[in-house]
Amino acid sequence: MRILITGTHGQLGTALQKELTNQNYEVIALGKSDLDLTKIKQIKTVIEKFCPKVVINCAAYNYVEGAGEDIEKAYCLNTFAPYWLAVTTKKVGGKLIQLSSDYVFDGSKESFRENDTPCPLNIYGMSRLAGERLVHLVAPESIIIRTSRLFGFSDDPQSHNFVKGIIKRANQEGLVSVVTDQIGNPTYAPDLAVAICQLLEKRAVVGIYHITNSGACSWYEFTKKIFEIAHITAPIIPIVTDESGTKISRPSFSVLENFRLIELGITPLRHWSEALAEYLGKLTI
Ligand SMILES: NC(=O)c1ccc[n+]([C@@H]2O[C@H](COP(=O)([O-])OP(=O)(O)OC[C@H]3O[C@@H](n4cnc5c(N)ncnc54)[C@H](OP(=O)(O)O)[C@@H]3O)[C@@H](O)[C@H]2O)c1
């Protein structure tokens, strides 16, 4: 089966390319220079050229703070690009797998299932939810995967994630301040890639799936574990979001229950701390 991946040099794109190739799928792995998702004509040309059975869109505008200022870019990549991918993929007889985010929720309860009503608190979350809705409208056979707090390897040496960022900050500044009042599920991109492959094997699935590693924690607890495993002794100052200087509202709880995945009989992903230990064992900064 021919599978086309967009945003292939990002964390999930890198992991998926490896996993799908290991599973003997025919993989067309495209980065921004091969397919710029801000260009509608290019989307049509590329999808019509390769006629993939499945398109997995790993590209996104991921900068939550920046989305409030660069609204056009956030909607272009997170809403309209998925829409055009869904339209053109459907036209060639394929199916879209669109990635989305825990930030479609408002944190008004401690965890969220796939059928809970989304209510994003910021532009980033709105652009993701709008993308989900448009994809569903034009191609209801698509799969939407919501995930959160990704960490993993990337072909792009400039790529950023929380784990690398907090280690660099500890090294440069000697101490870090981290919020205690935002709870979510850290997720290891290679584990997510394996789960996406398992979902692919179940051919008839459609609709929204939550896929994260098991277990939830605050950014503060996540940092404590990172430092413990990596033997970093820099002090970690616990703060609350109001003290962090952010202008963006974020959900206090954005824990994603992997309800439908488990219902399908797929084994829940391992605990995030186990995945983190594997990641840090392989990471070179
Ligand atoms: N990272 C997280 O914490 C997180 C949390 C929740 C959901 N997700 C979702 O999970 C998916 C995968 O995330 P990730 O962490 O793997 O993302 P990532 O590492 O930031 O990779 C995103 C990729 O998208 C590419 N891209 C940006 N603009 C593009 C354009 N105009 N055309 C084509 N490609 C473009 C980027 O290329 P350049 O670097 O060259 O711009 C990058 O390779 C995304 O949908 C993301 O929103 C991620």
Task: Using most ligand atoms within 8 A of CB, pick from 35, 37, 62 the residue to mutate for ligand 1.
Answer: 62
pLDDT of residue 274: 98
What is the b/e burial string over 197-218, where b = at least 16 CB atoms within 10 angstroms of the residue's CB? Answer: bebbeeeebeebbbbbbbbbbb
Q: In this structure, is residue 172 part of a structural domain? A: no
CATH number, domain containing residue 20: 3.40.50.720
Task: Using most ligand atoms within 8 A of CB, pick from 36, 38, 142, 150 the residue to mutate for ligand 1.
Answer: 150
Output the pTM of the full model.
0.98
- Domain that includes residue 128, residue range: 2-161+186-214+255-270
Asked if residue 96 lies in contact with residue 89, where contact means CB atoms within 8 angstroms, the answer is: yes
Rounded CA-CA distance 209/206 in Å is 9
Q: In this structure, is residue 170 part of a structural domain? A: no
What is the 108 CA–ligand 1 centroid distance (Å)?
A: 27
Smallest Cα–Cα separation from 221: which of 150, 256, 154, 272?
272
pLDDT of residue 61: 96
Residue nearest to ligand 1 atom 46, measured at CA: 60
Q: What is the CA radius of gyration of the chain?
A: 18
Q: In this structure, is residue 92 part of a structural domain? A: yes
pLDDT of residue 52: 98
> Using alpha carbons only, what angle is made at residue 27 by residues 26 and 33, rounded to the nearest 5 degrees?
150
**Total structural domains within the chain:** 1
Q: Per-block average pLDDT, block size 10, for the chain (285 residues)?
A: 97 98 97 97 98 98 93 97 98 98 97 98 98 98 98 88 97 97 98 97 92 98 98 98 93 97 96 98 90
What is the 56 CA–ligand 1 centroid distance (Å)?
A: 12
Q: In this structure, is residue 136 part of a structural domain? A: yes
Q: In this structure, is residue 282 part of a structural domain? A: no
Q: In this structure, is residue 103 part of a structural domain? A: yes
Contacts of 133 (CB under 8 A, 6+ apart): none
Region of 93 on the Ramachandran plot (φ > 0 left; ψ -120 to 50 alpha; else beta): left
Question: Using DSSP, how many helices (H) and how many strands (E) does the chain show?
Answer: 11, 14
Ligand 1 atom closest to the Cα of residue 128 is 47
Q: In this structure, is residue 181 part of a structural domain? A: no
Q: What are the structure tokens assigned to 202, written together? A: 């179940």
Active site (catalytic) residues: 124
Helix axis angle, 123-138 relative to 81-91, nearest 10°? 20
Place of tokens 């590329």: 46
Say how many residues make up the chain. Answer: 285
Place of tokens 């499945």: 54
pLDDT of residue 285: 77
Q: In this structure, is residue 135 part of a structural domain? A: yes
How do 217-218 and 183-184 pair as beta strands? Answer: antiparallel
pLDDT of residue 107: 96
Place of tokens 């394929």: 94
